């Protein structure tokens, strides 16, 4: 279950879908932070979304994460959602 990521990251596409469905997402502006994923394509994040509850389905059963803060990858319109190593 270890993603290898140092921080949690959510694609803007996920935020868009949640907002379209009427689900409120707590988003705050933050000072720009540079992230460098595997592959070296660096980018900056300037917003963080906090999810009240996220349920991950695992072979050991459901795992509920509360108040999960995720950097928002603005240029990504897919439904990518990565939970960082410090959480897992």
Chain segment 6-22, per-residue pLDDT in tens:
899 999 999 999 999 99
Contacts of 19 by beta carbon, 8 Å cutoff, 6+ apart: 25
Query: What is the model's pLDDT at position 6?
Result: 86
Q: 11 — phi, psi (to 5°)?
A: -75, 150
Q: Which H or E element spans position 18? A: helix 12-20
- pTM: predicted TM-score of the whole model, two decimal places: 0.88
55-83 pLDDT, tens digit each: 999 999 999 999 999 999 999 999 999 99
Q: How confident is the model at residue 38 (pLDDT cuts 50, 70, 90)?
A: confident
């Amino acid at each position: 279950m270890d993603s290898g990521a140092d921080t949690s990251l959510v694609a803007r596409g996920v935020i868009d879908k949640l907002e379209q469905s009427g689900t409120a997402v707590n988003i705050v502006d933050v000072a720009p932070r540079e992230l460098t994923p595997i592959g070296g394509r660096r980018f900056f994040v300037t917003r963080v979304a906090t999810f009240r509850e996220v349920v991950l389905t695992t072979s050991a059963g459901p795992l509920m994460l509360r108040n999960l803060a995720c950097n928002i990858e603005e240029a990504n319109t897919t439904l990518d959602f990565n939970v960082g190593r410090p959480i897992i």
